[in-house]
Structure formats: C-alpha cells, structure tokens
Structure 1
Amino acid sequence: MLNKFKQHLKNDFSFLKNKSIFLAVSGGLDSMVMLHLFQQLEYDIAILHCNFQLRGKESDGDTDFVIDYAEQFNIAWVIGHFDTKAFAKDNKLSTQVAARELRYDWFLEQLEEKEFDFVATAHHADDDLETFIINLSRGTGIEGLVGIPETNEAIIRPLLPFSRIEIEDYAKQNNLKWREDSSNASDNYLRNKIRHHVVPQLKELSPTFLQSFIKTQDYLSQANSMMEDAAMIAYMNIATHNGDEIHFDIEAMKNIPRLEGYLHFWFKKYGFTAWKDILELLDAQTGKKVNSASHLLLKNRKVLVLSKIKIKKALEKVYSIKKDQENLKIPLNITFCNIGYITNSNNNIIFVDAEKLNYPLEIRKKREGDVFHPSGMNGKKKLSKYFKDEKYSLLEKEEQWLLISNNEIVWVIGKRADQRFLANEKTINTLKIELK
C-alpha cells in the first residue's frame, strides 16, 4: 500500500511537495494508517486532533493516545476541545452535523493561525460508498453521487482510492496500534446502519463491488463535467452581462430542451433552489420576481434580470449603556439586572461576568473584521463566517445588533453569546441581560 500511496500522491497530489500539511488524526484505524504513511515519506506534517467530549473517558483516552504517539515520534500536535452537545442544542443540529461543523471550522482556523497549507483527512473508498448511498436515499442530484471530493480548497483526502480492507491489512502488517470508537458499533446513526447492514450485502453480491463502484463514480464525475460544459455553452448563447446585472433571453431559454436541469447549473451559485418557480417566471407578467437570500431574478418583458439584492445602509448608529443602567428601549428593549445566581439561558437571556465588562457598553451593527468566541466552541470565529454558517440573508446580516464591550462582542443579540464573557460557578458578580 505504501508504494501505491506514494504513486497516488505523485500523480494526484504533486502540489503537496514543499507544503505544510496538518493530518486530522482521531486515533482510529484510518487516521493512524494515514499518519504512518506520511511518516514514511518526506512531507512537512503535524497533527490536528478533535476531542468532541461525547464519550467521556473514552474521548480523553483517544486524545492521550494521539499525544503519546506524536511525542514518541517528535511530531507537532494541536488539540481542540469542543462542547459538541451544547453547540448542537444551540444551533438545532444533530450531534454528527454539529461535530462536522465544529471540526471543519476549527481546521480552517488552525490553517490560518499556524500558517499551514492543507489539512488531510482519512476518508477512504468505503466512506465514499456510504456517502453515495446516503445521498441516493435522499434523492440527490448527480452532484451528490459523484463522491467525496479528493480536494476541496484546503481540505485533501488522499486515502479515497483505498478500501477499508487495504487500510486494515496495512495496519496489521506494520503492527500499528489504534483506538476503537465505541459509537461506531451503534446502529443509532444512518451511516452506521449502512456500514453494518447494506454495504456487506452489496459486497456479497460481487467481490469486486467496491472497485466497480469507484469506476462508476468516475463515469458519473465525467458525465457531470460534460453537463457543466453543456450548461456553460447554453449560458453563453442566452445570457448577456449588463453592468451589475445579467440578462437572460426568455425565448432562447424556452427553446432549450430539459431546461430545468440547466437552471440548476446557472443559478445554484446565486443561492436559488426553487427551479419550478423560475420556470413559471418565464410566462409570468412583467414585474414578477423570484429571489434567493442574496439575489433577485426579475421578469422584465422578454428577459429575466438577475441582480444582487442591494440593501441601503443607513449611517451607523451606536447606542451607549452606562454602568448600573437597568434598561434600554431603543433600538431594542433590553434589561440589565445584577443577580447572585445563574439559571438556564436561552437565545434571549444571557448571564455574564460583570467584572469582565468595560463601560460604557455599546449596541451597534456589524463592522468589517468583527470576530467573537461563540459559546460552546473553543476558539474564535469571524462574525461574517458565523453569519454564513447560520445562513443569514443579506437583510438579516444588516439588521443584526451586537452588544459590545471595549470593541469586543459580548452577545450577538438574540442569537449567540461570547464564551469569554459568560458567568460560571466561580463568578462573583453575575449580570443577567435579557432581550424583551
């Protein structure tokens, strides 16, 4: 497997030479094999490990295992600890989705902070097959069937051509040790059900099923590329750019067979998903429109006009809050109360350590470069990235108020507190802040 891996990197990841690479290492079989393979080759590597605090002592044992291995071989490492359950609850996400968001956000933060070039994850061919089946069961388009991408900006997946059996054989041949995740044995998760019950049946039908699947995905990827090319050719024949607008010739659109499929390629990057609404717009009266979170598609006689939604920005207003002030009426109805205890917080109530606040506090809108430390998450996040992750529309971004102390965000009001200011059991002076 080492020779095959080396050749794979040479053929498909030649850009990694002389680059610094973080390896996402959980301590499990797949990531430990990936780590060992990279150790045999001349790459600049370090380890990223996520402790999601979901399995108690088992999670901490994984962390200790990874650290011990890294120190044994003198490999630099960074550990991230996450309150995954709190993050999932606050954002109304499943535990798995919450862990995924926390993981990839943290990866990108570490790339920026440590000035590394790439993060490698240990996804392999069996993972790809499971993802294919999940997407197929959800009625995805062809994009959901072409597989996990080998490269997605700074995230790379160099083990995708290798099967779980190949990886396990390599580990045994090289006497590697790894940690077993007890949650992988549970059928509570859809992926595990597919892994334990569906995939074995498929492999039993044909011993070469996985290899055939990889070939099929390659064909699907080629077909998807051909459709993108066809959509681009058609786009060039029907669309004209007019300043900040794009005009689509309606009659020319109507002459395209299976037009709905083309709409997906043309408008998905502008946030549109209502393809039938766009089709109906072709025969609607002038002035009818369909909009996404960021763009507007307007029927204007014989053309559809695509433009970015423009929001008029008023002069920024900043509202001050003095020390011991008990309430604020404008721009929001907010109360401030010193109490000696902490009860359950929610989106509209937070409890902060009053000693950490610098007065006067301010309430204002977003500014370029704003960052904060979201509650339930280690580390900081750009406010713009938070808005993107929360799927804010342009209007929502402009309307969101922030509570500020000494130019630092205390609260994305009504949404998320900053971890640094929250009160805890050691807090002496607790301030309850409530959005009425």
Structure 2
Amino acid sequence: MLRFEDKIEKYIERFSLMEKNALYLVALSGGADSVSLLLVLKKLGYRVEACHCNFHLRGEESIRDEKFCEQLCMSENIPFHHVHFDTKSYSELHHVSIEMAARNLRYSYFESLRKDLNADAICVAHHQEDSVETIIINLIRGTGIKGLRGILPKNGNIIRPLLGVNRSEIEEYLSTLNQEFVIDRTNLIDDVVRNKIRLNIIPLLEQINPRVKDNIFKTSTYLDDVYQIAEGFIEDYISHRDDIGLLRKGSQSYGSVGFKSILGFPKPQLLLYHILKEFGFNSIVSEEVLRNIQQNVIGRIWYSKTHEVLIDRDVLLIEPIEHTVLNPIKIPEGGTYVYNGHKFKFSVLNIESDFNLAKENDHITIDFSHLSWPLIIRPIKNSDRFVPFGMKGSKLVSDYLTDRKVSLFDKRRQLVLTDKEDQIIWLVGHRIADRYKVNKDTKSVLDVHLV
C-alpha cells in the first residue's frame, strides 16, 4: 500500500494540480484535514503559505483555532495570514445563510490574497467523504450528471490535493506524525444538511454496504468521464451548426440557437441545458423552453440574474438584461449626433439636377419643407403609429415590425426619428413616413445617414 505522501503526490501528478516551483496558499482551519494538507504539501517540497479565516461564530473556540494555526505555522516555519469576519452581519445584510456567508467571505479573501501574493492557486482540504456528501446533497436536491461528479480536483484557482484519500487515512497520517489538530464541535451536531448526511445517512448506508463511500466516489469518477465525453460531443455538434451562434462582446455574452438544431439533436434538453447554463439558467428552465418550442409557443421570455432568453419564430435568442433607460435627444440643426452607440449624420441639401435620392434602410432623404424642428430621436412607444411610405392608412409601429419579423428584443431597441410634435418621420433602419417623401415640388431635403 502506498504511503500517504506518495498517494497525494500521485494524485497531484494525475490531474496536473501543482508544480514544485510555484507558490500555493493553503486554507488552514486547524482541523485534521487542513493540517494534514499543509504538512504533506510541505513534506513533498511544495512552496506553501497558510491562510486562516476567523468567522467569530464559535466564541472562544474561534480564537483557539486561530492561535493553534498561528503556532503550527510558526513551528513549521510557514508564513501565516489571517483575517477576521463579522459573518452574522454579512449574512443579515446579504440575506444569505450563515454557511453561505462564510463561504462567500472565505473564497473572496482567498482570491484577494492569492492575487496580492502572486500565488498560483489556493489549496483546500476536501477529501473523498466530502465529495460523497456533496453527491448525496445534489442527488437529494435534484441534479444531472454534472452534480453527480461530486467535488472536482480543480475549479479555477481552487485545487484539492486530498480528494484521493479518505478521512481515516488523514487521521492515521497525523497520528504517525504525532500531530495534534482542533475539533470543530459544530460538525458533530446534525443541524445542517451536510451534517445530517455525514452523521445519519451515510452510517445507515454503511450498514447495507460498508464500502458505500468508496463505491459512490468511484462511480462519481466514472460519471465525470461520461460528462467530459458528452460535453465534447455537444461542443462538436455546436461548432458544425450554422444556426447556432454563441458570442461575447466585451463583458457581455449573447446567443442564438435555431430550432432546427435543437430538435435535431439526439437529446434536445441536454443541448439546451449545456447552452443555457452558461447564461445563468438552470435545468428547469431548459426543460420549459424545450416544451414551449415543441408546442410552437412564440414570444415567451425567461430570466436569469444576468440574461433573458426569448422564443422567437424559429430561433431561441439570448441577450444580457438591459437596465439602461434611454432618454430622447433633440436635433436642433444639421450635424452629427451619437445616440445609444449609433451615429446619425444630418445634412440639409438643395435639389440639383444631379441629385440622387437615398433609398437604403440606413440612409434616407426626406422633404425639408414638411419638418418642424427640433427633431427628436427616441425609442419606440407602445402607442406609436405612422403611415409607412407608399401606404394610405396608419399602422401601429409594433404591428409593422411584427410583419417584418423583427424579434421582441430588436423591437425594444427600435428607434424613431420624430418632429417636435412627436410625429414619426422615420422608423430608423426601416422606413420613412409617407408624408415626408420627396416629390416633384420638393426644393430642399434633409439627408439622414445612420453611419
């Protein structure tokens, strides 16, 4: 049987977690897991520094743990960093549980310290039982293959070198070193979900099969392989479809997915979830979206914290949620004006013999004599009506755009050019109003170019 140090080294090498010449922070609580992690990494020759969080949740025990960690690092000649948090106040302010508050504070501090020290990664002491507990939690809450993989060896700047060993191996290792550690008594009370699973459910499962933890952990590694294969297959499918576009503009991400590609995939819901999860949507939303597509429901929208997804005519559209309210701008005279990222160039021209009438959607020529200044550029309103060029009766702008198969997202961005009486002159990028068209009596025109 491999020694504890050898087992950790092989696990690190298997997943390429660490390099000997790099610097790593070790999250040190004082418990058996983190103490063993700190000591074994040092013995294996890795450059480590310890970081400890005092959440002030357990009175004197919190102070005891901090002093223990500081003394341990001093005796091992390991640099020690520590921070204090008012966890309860954070929990109340952000309306999250104490457990979530501690987690947010802990990882935010770790990452900030990592950047300050230019460290390569943060090592945390999750082991096999932690992963098994996570799998059971996810299974209870409802999860797909991703959640059944448990805790991963690496997630961004977080690495977990102890996932290849279990709790008994950790305690045995510390015993051989005659190394003490502190005990968090809250872990012995079944007052939160993870503790209930650790103290009640797993022992019950072990009565059925003593190797249940090993078997669950091993199964999770198989499922991770399946997940990676499935992800690769989906990515390959997406890359070969012309009607799937997933792109990023600066810090914003957008997406469009044709129904043909969705329904043509062997497992449409799996494809949808793979795409939508990147925009903050869960599996429940992906199931609802697919059901509405199959039922030919058009126009429904779902929201995540950052994005909204719309079922359009034959495509699924995904865009960032816009919080900006656009105010109208006045155009008092000719010139160049910028509005919501669009540049408009206004020029007053006299009609000469060689005059050419602009006919493009983004370039119009209108009769100057019919204009009442100042002109105004603004977003459309629900009540907007106009008489499109070449027509007799008025039409709601929203109906006109619907007839032109403009998506709801694009409708909300649609701009109009009006006169001072709020009469629509131009549905920007589409059509002018009929009363402003150039005729044989026109002497001068306003040339408007959307650059």
TM-score, with normalisation over the residues of structure 2? 0.65
Task: Determine which of 253, 266, 285 is the counterpart of 2:275.
Answer: 266
Q: Note if contact 1:284-1:299 (Cα within 8 Å) is conserved in structure 2.
A: no
- In the TM superposition, residue 309 of structure 1 has moved relative to its aligned partner by 4.0
Of structures 1 and 2, the one scoring higher in RCO (CA 8 A, sep 6+) is: 1
- Residue of structure 2 aligned with 1:112, choices 115, 121, 125: 115
Preserved CA contact (<8 Å) 1:281 1:289: no
Cα shift at 1:146: 0.3
User: Deviation at 1:208?
Assistant: 2.9
SS of 1:188 mapped into structure 2:
coil
Q: What runs of 5+ residues in structure 1 fail to find an aligned partner? A: 316-436
* More displaced 10-residue stretch of structure 1: 3-12 or 152-161: 3-12
One-letter identity of the residue aligned with 2:245? H
- What is the deviation of 1:246? 4.2
Match of 1:279 in 2: 290
Q: Give the stretch that moved more between structures: 224-233 or 62-71.
A: 224-233
CA deviations on 1:252-289 (whole Å, 9 max, x unpaired) are: 42233442222100111012232244224424465544
| Structure 1, 173-182 or 86-95: larger mean CA deviation | 86-95
Contact 2:8 2:164 in 1 (8 A): no
Instruction: Give the Å deviation of 1:87.
Output: 1.0
TM-score, normalised on structure 1? 0.67
Q: Is 1:16 matched up with 2:31?
A: no
Partners in 1 of 2:230 and 2:174 — Cα distance?
41
Per-residue CA deviation, residues 409-435 of structure 1 (Å, 9 max, x unaligned), is xxxxxxxxxxxxxxxxxxxxxxxxxxx
Instruction: Provide the secondary structure at the position in 2 that maps to 1:86.
Output: helix
Q: Secondary structure at the match of 1:159?
A: helix
* Residue 295 (structure 1) aligned to one of 280, 286, 307: 307
Aligned partner letter, 1:16 = E
Counterpart among 73, 87, 98 of residue 101 in structure 2 = 98
SS at match of 2:10: helix
- Does residue 1:239 correspond to 2:243, yes or no? yes
The structural deviation recorded for 1:302 is 2.5
Aligned amino acid, residue 86 of structure 1: S
What residue number does 1:305 align with? 317
Distance in 2, matches of 1:141 and 1:247, equals 24
Q: Which residue of 1 aligns with 2:392?
A: none
Match of 1:256 among 260, 265, 281: 265
Partner of 1:150: 153
For the residue of structure 2 that corresponds to 1:237, the secondary structure is coil
Superposition map of 1:30-49 within 5 A: 30-49=33-52
**1:143 Cα shift?**
1.2
Q: Equivalences for 1:205-244 in 2 at 5 Å? A: 205-235=208-238, 236-237=240-241, 239-241=243-245
Letter in 2 for 1:219: Y
Q: 1:258 to 1:25 in 2, by over 3 A?
A: same
The percent identity for this pair of structures is: 32
Whole-angstrom distance in 2 between the partners of 1:201 and 1:288: 46
Match of 2:64 among 41, 54, 61: 61
Aligned length: 315
Counterpart Cα distance in 2 of 1:182 and 1:293: 37
More moved, 5-14 vs 171-180: 5-14
Q: 1:242 to 1:33 in 2, by over 3 A?
A: closer
| Residue of structure 1 equivalent to 2:371 | none
How big is each residue's C-alpha offset from its partner over 1:150-175, in whole Å with a ceiling of 9 and x where there is no partner? 11111111001101111111111111
Q: 1:6 to 1:301 in 2, by over 3 A?
A: closer
Equivalent residue for 1:187, pick from 179, 190, 194: 190
Tell me if structure 2 keeps the 8 A contact 1:239–1:246. Answer: no
The higher radius of gyration belongs to 2
Partner Cα distance (1:40, 1:276) in 2: 50
What is the distance in 2 between the residues matched to 1:286 and 1:8? 51
1:241: how far off? 3.2
2:206 matched residue in structure 1:
203
Give the direction of change, closer, same or farther, for the CA distance of 1:99–1:286 in structure 2 (3 Å limit): closer
Describe the superposition over 1:182-232 as per-residue Cα deviations: whole angstroms up to 9, x where unpaired. Answer: 111111122111111221222333333332222201111112122212322
Partner of 1:130: 133
Whichever residue aligns with residue 98 of structure 1, its letter is A
Match of 1:165 in 2: 168
Deviations 1:47-69 (A, max 9, x none): 10111101111110110111111
Residue 432 of structure 2: aligned partner: none
Q: Comparing 218-227 with 238-247, which one deviates more in the overlay?
A: 238-247
C-alpha separation in 2, matches of 1:312 and 1:94: 32
Checking the alignment, whether the CA contact within 8 Å between 1:271 and 1:295 is kept in structure 2 is yes
Q: Give structure 2 stretches of 5+ with no counterpart.
A: 328-451
Q: Secondary structure at the match of 2:317?
A: strand
Q: Which runs of 4+ in 1 moved over 6 A?
A: none
Whole-Å separation in 1 of the counterparts to 2:98 and 2:57 = 9
CA pair 285-200 structure 1, distance change in 2 beyond 3 A: closer
Matched position secondary structure for 1:105: helix
**1:27 paired to 2:30:** yes
Deviation per CA, 1:8-29: give whole Å up to 9, x if none.
2233235422110111111111
CA distance in 2, matches of 1:252, 1:2: 50
1:253 and 1:259 in contact (8 A); partners too: yes
Q: 1:4 to 1:259 in 2, by over 3 A?
A: same
Contact 1:238 1:253 in 2 (8 A): no
Work out the CA distance in 2 between the residues paired with 1:16 and 1:289: 47
How far has the Cα of 1:109 moved from its partner? 0.9
Amino acid at match of 1:237: R
CA distance in 2, matches of 1:14, 1:85: 34
Q: Calculate the aligned-residue CA RMSD, in Å.
A: 2.3
